[in-house]
Every structure is written in structure tokens, then in C-alpha cells.
Amino acid sequence: MGDSPDLDLISDLPQSIIESILTRLPIIEAVRTSILSSKWRYRWASLTHLAFDEKCVTSTNDRTFVENKLINFITRALFLHQGPIHKFQLCTSFLTSCPDIDQWILFLSRKDIKELVLELDENEWIRVPSCLFNCKKLTRLELSRCELDPPSTFKGFSFLKSLKLYQVYVASDAIESVIINCPLLESLSLSYIDSLTLNIRSPNLKYLCLEGEFKDICLENTPLLIAMSVAMYMTEDIAEHMEQSSSCNFIKFLGGAPHLERLIGRIYFTKYLTVGDDPGRLPIKYINLKIIELYQVSFEDMKEILVVLRLITNSPNLKELQISSSSNSYTLAAMEATDLEFWEKECPSHCIFGRLRVVKMTEMSGVPHEMEFIRFLLENSPVLEVMSIAPCSSVTEGRLNMLIELVRFRRASPRAEILFIQN
């Protein structure tokens, strides 16, 4: 009894196709193919992509039982594996810190690992073993919830293109040194790494994502940056530090990214950019910047408005602008026009947004400066197609006033539609 060569559809397919099929199955099923026939006994063992999670083992309520089964499964799979492993992914909350993880990483470091993703439990932070830093061929590294401490002899990952750290406990200078020693780095994402003070020097960096409580960030050398998404949270510590700082955050952050195409700023981002001395006229124009999204912008803070103005007036090719306001205090006091000469003073007289097509304003309360901003945009955007305005849900009585004002505004674009979004 043997395989009839006419009937057997699959055994002689090229390994790359077998891999393409087996890696689309949960790994446990790929391993099961070992029982199909003698030819298949170890076909799965040459897979170069391995992805493990707790679905590899039957789930029960006994966490320790699941943990032990999972450790057993992964260890055996790795032990039987042949050939290089290019991608290894482990995402589970069932593994508490265990020496097995260290051994797996040691094993992977000897198998030419290129992509490593480790997402572990939030209650037990493992300390990433030093053998991780021996994985010379790494092109992508993603770590969640662990402690990172590169040895002093670490010279960087020469091939690393993508680095993502989420809730990782690591020192600022360690991250800085990793970044600067990964010359091919294109994508960097740092989330919820507390109190980071960073000087980012990364000549090939294209995509940057930062979220968390950052003390001080300077993009010192990021000439190729094309997209940036930043969410800055505030603590008392950071607020104090900001008060004492004199260096201009706007320049520190955006001064070195002339090819930026897309900018997203959340939480206290615009506030962060107000810190420091006023940069005056900006030395650079963001000629590629097409999309700007800024959230939680306070239209009661002149400095924040100035930051927004400075940004958009130096982006001649801006196509889409989205601003979400944080001024949700609809009180009579807030409605009093204060310092409206600001607009005449600060707006460049011949400012035209020649490519601006879509503007979305959200969480509006109708405070004077919000309305002036809208007026400014309508007057100076000759190709505008849509201006959409969504009042924030707590504003009910002010909506009519907002509409009355809106209707009066002159529009440079005959095609402009003003959409007032009511829920």
C-alpha cells in the first residue's frame, strides 16, 4: 500500500507552496499533517514561519495546566524543527516568566530569525534575555510587556527595519542607542514607555508612532520621515518640566522632517508644541504634507492656535485637515470675544490654501476663536469641496448661533459644501 502518484495532489508541490498553505493553518494543524503519510512526517518541520498562542492547546480553567501544555507544545515543536526560522510569533497571556522563553529565544538566535513578535501577559513582565541581541539578522522586532536591557557591548541590529515596543520597561538612553545603531530602521513605534527622553537619530526612518507620557522628544535626524502619529499624555511631572523648558518644541519635533506627508497629533500634542520660545517664521516648508489631523486642540489657548496656524500656513500642498477641539466649555464667559485682533495680527495676509479640499472640524462648541478659524479657512481655500462641522454633544443651545455665524462667512471656493453634522 503506497501513495498512487496519480492521485497524490500535494506532496510534490514546491516547498514554498506547501509552506504557503500550512502557515495559513493554526500551527497545531500544521503539525498534525505529520500523520498524513510517511512523506509528510516532517514536512511541517521545515516551516519558516511559526506562530503560537494559547489556541495551540485545549483551554481549561486551570491556568497552570494550560501554561504547562503550551510550554510543552512550543518546546517540542522547536526541538523537532529543521532549517531556518524566519518568523516567530508568540502572543499569549498564559505564560508567566519562565526560563523556557529564554531558551526559545536562544534557539531562535541560532536559526537566522528575522521577524520576532512577543506579546505577553501584563502581570508578569519577563526580562528579555541577552541572547535576543545576538539575533543578527532581525528585520522586525515587536515586544509587548517586557523589560529590555541591552548589554553595553550591543552594536545594534544592522538589518532591523521595523521596531515596535509596547509597554516595555527600558531606559531612555538604551532606546536611543538601539535606534541610532539600527541604520536601516524605517518604522518605529513606541507606546506607553514612561518618562522617555529621546533624541531620535535615524537617517532612514519613514514611519513614526509615539504614544504615552514622554518627557522630552527631539527628532534630531529624521530627514526621510513621511508619516507621524503622536499621542502625548500629561502628568504633573511632565507639565512642570515643560514649564521650565525654553527650547522650542515645535522646531525640536517638526524641524527635521521636511518630507512629512501625514501628521496625526492627539491628546496634548498641540500643547506640547507650544512649549518653548516662539520660533517666529519657520525655516522650512512642508511641501509634501497633505494630511493633518489634530485632536484635542484648545481654541482658548492662543499659543495652540498659533501652532496650528504655523503648521497649516507652511504646508502649501495641504489637502485634508481635521481638527478636533477640546474647548467644550460652553459658558457665556467663554463666548466673549477675547483678543480677536490676534487673527489680523498673526495671519499672513496672502495666505492661500491652494490645494485644501476637505476640512473636518469636530467637538466644536462655537467659541469665538473656533469660528474665526473656520472663517479664516473658508476665506482662503479656493478649491475647498467640503467643510464639515460637528458640534460636541454637550452643546445644545449654541448650535443655532454657530449656524448663524457660519452662514455669514465668505467662501473663496464656489464649490464648498458646509455640512453641519447633528449627531
Write out the residues near other proteins by the rule CB under 8 A. 1-4, 7-11, 13-14, 17, 20-22, 24-26, 28-29, 31-41, 57-58, 69, 72-73, 76
**CA-to-CA dists, residue 169 to 42, 107, 127, 421, angstroms:** 39, 24, 9, 43
- 11 or 394, CB closer to other proteins? 11
CA distance linking residue 28 with residue 48, whole number of Å: 15
- 44 or 295, CB closer to other proteins? 44
- 32 or 63, CB closer to other proteins? 32
Least separation in angstroms between CB 193 and other proteins: 35
CA distance linking residue 241 with residue 398, whole number of Å: 37
Least separation in angstroms between CB 24 and other proteins: 4
Per-state percent for the chain, helix, strand, coil, to nearest 5: 30, 25, 45
- 73 or 420, CB closer to other proteins? 73
Least separation in angstroms between CB 47 and other proteins: 13
Least separation in angstroms between CB 33 and other proteins: 7
Do 172 and 197 form a contact (C-beta atoms < 8 A)? yes
DSSP string, 213-233: -EEEEEEEE-TT--EEEEEE-
Least separation in angstroms between CB 61 and other proteins: 16
Provide the pairing of β-strand 262-267 with 227-232.
parallel
Which parts of 23-140 fold into alpha helices (H)?
Answer: 27-32, 63-80, 99-109
- 38 or 338, CB closer to other proteins? 38
Least separation in angstroms between CB 360 and other proteins: 22
Q: Nearest-5° angle of CA 180, CA 186, CA 190?
A: 70
- 66 or 305, CB closer to other proteins? 66
* Amino acid symbol at 374: I
